[in-house]
Structure 1
Amino acid sequence: MAEESMSEVTNPVRQVLLISAGASHSVALLSGNIVCSWGRGEDGQLGHGDAHDRLLPTQLSSLDDLEIVSVTCGADHTTAYSLSHVEVYSWGWGDFGRLGHGNSSDLFTPQPIKALHGLKIKQIACGDSHCLAVTVDGEVQSWGRNQNGQLGLGTTEDSLVPQKIQAFQGVSIKMVAAGAEHTAAVTEDGELYGWGWGRYGNLGLGDRNDRLVPEKVSAVDVCENMDVKMVTVACGWRHTISVSSSGGLYTYGWSKYGQLGHGDFKDHLIPHKLEALHDNHISQISGGWRHTMAITSDGKLYGWGWNKFGQVGAGDNIDHCSPVQVKFPQEQKVVQISCGWRHSLAVTEKQNVFSWGRGTNGQLGHGESVDRNIPKIIESLSVDGSSGQQIESSNVDPSSGKTWVSPSERYAVVPDETVQGQASVSVSGNGNDASVPENEVKRVRM
């Protein structure tokens, strides 16, 4: 037993290629095309074929042979892309068609989105309940919830399958970002677009109106006399962050919790430069539910905004309306960041993965359900972890595991009748039934 353990520990180190945080779950892509997920599993967003939470990173075995090259969390669903199979896979909460499979059923194991089969994808963005995919040709497909026009299709009808955004005909899109009910995009020429829900100015268009199709952001608050070209964009729940070609950071939208970082709690209706980080070149950004994180070109991480659960990582639980630096052991430089709703993930150049913030569903990956207000290493994903990167596997057989779960099956709650205790509904699969708690009705957007 001791020799076997030693052999496992000395296996080649897996490199963490990508991390992504959702509302209450997390995913990581490791070298060798290994996908791990952990945290809340009640809606199937972990992809392990059941509704259980995972307190530690668990290998998503059903994706092992698909050569996955990217993973992205939505609030309560997840997507992955296989370049060799030219397929986008999705799983988790299916309401409003956010999984893209033509229905609103929940899915507990990854399944390919038929409408995207054969499309070469360079980026996927997932919001609260809608998704977008950018093809290598710069076209954009969108699907899911659309009550405020966040799909950019010119309507307010939900789309159960991906549809091409026709408004971008002749415009090559570099990347997209999805918030709760709004969307942003950057073109290959550095132009910024916004559409969807705009009540807090989060579209950057100078007003608080919704847009059903993408509209170009034409005004930017800048000190210097020059045309600002944007290179990247990210969305929080109701705010937006972008970075210019010169490394300047701009934020706009909702600022009730200081998530714009301008030292106050004032909404901004057009992109406003973050003067507090004026001397820094920003290399990466991420937006959480009500907090924001940014990495500088020299590997420093800054956070600001809502901090009730310590998700800013500053060592306290006080909201911050200006950037504060997040400290790491041995002053490790940060190379990747992802904000969830109430937690944050980071990868350092030493190939260590850290997490902090809300931990009630195990989304921090520490094997416990404890909140943290400073970064704590995820042992099983890190070079410096004492567990030697030992990762459990879900060992789910997709051919026999649970697949579709319709909303009527999932939540058969009698109207005007309170469900007591931990009653369960037996959910039919393909020979492998599972009990799913029926007492927690779908969460209502706050």
Structure 2
Amino acid sequence: MADRNRSFPIDDLPSHLILEILTSGKRLRAVDLASLELTSRTFGGSHGVYPTKCRSLVDLAAFQLCTTNETYIGMSYSNQRGVFERCGGNWKRVLRFLQSVEQSSDMVQTSAGNMQITTGRYHTLLIRNSSVYSCGSSLCGVLGHGPETTQCVVFTRINFPSPANVIQVSASQNHAAFVLRSGEVAAGLNFTVFLTRQGHVYTCGTNIHGQLGHGDSQDRPSPKMVELLERVGTIVQIAAGPSYVLAVTDNGVVYSFGSGSNFCLGHGEQQNEFHPRAIQTFKRKGIHVLSVSAGDEHVVAVDSSGYVYTWGKGYCGELGHGDEIDKTLPQHLVSLKSQLAVQVCARKRKTFVLVDGGAVYGFGWMGFGSLGFPDRGVSDKIMRPRILDCLRGHRVSQVSTGLYHTVVVTQRGRMFGFGTMSEHNLVMTH
């Protein structure tokens, strides 16, 4: 009996067993592996027994976790090699990049619980442990607290008619949509797009510009599957602008449809598209897009190597290229090429880029302080990406912006907001 309870030094365990412990359940983050590597020669030494591309047992664990990651699996070999080289041949950094991408678009796992933040035009929605909270202006009842509520100055829980386990929310100008364990949702000005766990896309609402993707301009009062997207592969992400839609497949191809104004569809012209159409700039160059963000007048995308691309209307510098020239096709944002972007966020005339180290860059229109630079005027223009000094010391996991306000969630579960709702100063909420 005594032998059963005897403890063994970690150094006495065989390498394959330690590796099994490190990779079991995919619970460890890249930062956890890095910390382990510093604690013991068992974790940090190469011992000459691991594959040449793995520097240590921990690096081998990171490699195995990467190869089972859905985002990584969906990349071509050349794109897998590209992100590995971008990360300096360090599998722990590749894993951190992949995990950061997932957290930026899903629930953030924090010490305060699982959280997700989404901003509408004048309001903010928060999911915390499957419960939904809202604050801001309740135009058209968008806060979900009934017609008598016109605004909430603090986060207030939304009561659903029946028990609801909400896993995602999308906020638009005058409405919000919620997903209950089925997939993803994106809300446009007067229409909504749904993405199921199986990769099927449904749309409903106004269809003047063909933004529902059914090949016509007929409105749909109830969700209908976009059948043309069934032929292109599995859709893994959607984004909706005021009157257009972007859909990303598991092999990194971006399809767009709806209003062609401001070149947001990425085809080099401003004509409407009533059917989903692939953006050829990415396909021709073999660029695997991970996610896109649809702004009012421009679009931002991040690829599998953490590079950022922008296109659309260039007013106020929202494209980040140092000018106000419209970009009719996706263009690489070279000023951020030294950074590994994990999330992009676009709204009216401004853009945010979250990088894998947790820093946030902003550019475009100051929007009454919502760009996060207190040393600049409320209507100034930031023409190139600039790091938000007000967030230094905080590792940001998600960012979302409305018309005049912006909110971020940190890895520790803190929320910071800036813009008109906070008198242009950085504030913290819980």
The question of a shared fold, defined as TM-score above 0.5 by the shorter chain, is answered with yes
1:33-44 counterparts in 2 under 5 A?
A: 33-44=130-141
TM-fit CA distance, 1:271 = 0.7
SS where residue 219 of structure 1 aligns?
helix
The 3 A distance-change label for structure 1 pair 236 and 330 is: closer
**Could you list the runs of 4 or more consecutive aligned residues of structure 1 that deviate by over 2 angstroms after TM superposition?**
12-16, 61-65, 327-330
Relative distance call for 1:329 and 1:313 in structure 2 (3 A) is closer
Q: Which has the larger radius of gyration?
A: 2
Paired residues of 2:372 and 2:390 also in contact (CA < 8 A):
no
- 1:26-175 equivalence runs, <5 A: 26-31=124-129, 33-50=130-147, 51-62=149-160, 65-83=163-181, 121-171=182-232, 172-175=234-237
2:262 to 200, 203, 216: 200
Structure 2 equivalent of residue 271 of structure 1: 330
Match of residue 376 from structure 1 = 427
Alignment check: 8 A CA contact 1:220 1:270 kept: no
Structure 2: runs of 5+ lacking an equivalent:
1-109
Q: CA deviation at 1:255?
A: 1.3
CA displacement, residues 167-202 of structure 1 (integer Å, 9 cap, x when unaligned): 112221111100111111111111011111112211
Aligned equivalent of 1:95: none
1:219 alignment partner in structure 2? 281
Alignment of 1:398-409 (within 5 A): none
Distance 1:307 1:329 in 2: 16
Counterpart amino acid of residue 161 in structure 1: S
Equivalent position SS for 2:263: coil
Using the alignment, how far apart are the partners of 2:252 and 2:408 within structure 1?
27
Percent identity for Structure 1 against Structure 2: 27
Q: Distance in 2 between matches of 1:351 and 1:330?
A: 16
Which residue is equivalent to 1:189? 251
Kept in 2, the 8 Å contact 1:34–1:64? The answer is no
CA offset at residue 328 of structure 1?
Answer: 3.6
**Deviation digits for residues 301-338 of structure 1, max 9, x if unmatched?**
01111113111111122111211111245611110011
Counterpart Cα distance in 2 of 1:310 and 1:328:
12
Could you tell me which of 269, 294, 315 is aligned with 2:353?
294
Provide structure 1 residue ranges, at least 5 long, that are not aligned to the other structure: 1-11, 84-120, 360-369, 382-446
Letter in structure 2 aligned against 1:350: R
Aligned partner (choices 282, 298, 305) of residue 341 of structure 2: 282
Please report the TM-score for the alignment, with normalisation by the length of structure 1. 0.68
Q: How far is 1:16 from its partner?
A: 5.0
Higher strand share: 1
Which secondary structure does the structure 1 equivalent of 2:135 belong to?
strand
Deviation at 1:349, TM superposition (A): 1.5
- TM-score normalised over the length of structure 2: 0.70
Query: What one-letter code is carried by the residue in structure 1 that aligns with 2:350?
Result: H
Give me the whole-angstrom Cα distance separating, in 2, the residues matched to 1:123 and 1:267: 30
Structure number with greater CO (CA < 8 Å, separation at least 6) is: 1
> What is the Cα deviation at residue 226 of structure 1?
4.5
Change (3 A) 1:16 1:356: farther
- Say which structure is richer in helix: 2
- AA partner of residue 307 (structure 1): M
Shift of 1:209: 1.2
Shift of 1:63: 6.5
Q: 1:18 aligns with which of 91, 100, 116?
A: 116
Distance in 1 separating the partners of 2:316 and 2:382: 8
Partners of 1:267 and 1:294 in 2: CA distance = 19
Whole-angstrom distance in 1 between the partners of 2:291 and 2:367 = 28
Does structure 1 retain, via aligned residues, the 8 Å contact 2:290–2:302? yes
Identify the residue that residue 46 of structure 2 maps to in structure 1: none
Taking the aligned partners of 1:139 and 1:329, their CA distance within structure 2 comes to 37
- Structure-2 separation of matches of 1:195 and 1:211: 5
Structure 1 contact 289–342 (Cα < 8 Å) conserved = no
Against the structure 1 CA distance between its residues 23 and 293, is the aligned structure 2 distance closer, same or farther, given a 3 Å change threshold? same
Q: Partners in 1 of 2:367 and 2:222 — Cα distance?
A: 36
SS of the residue corresponding to residue 116 of structure 2 reads: strand
CA contact (8 A) 1:256 1:267 kept: yes
Q: Which amino acid is the alignment partner of residue 170 of structure 2?
A: T
**Structure 2: distance between partners of 1:212 and 1:260:** 26
Post-superposition offset of 1:45? 0.4
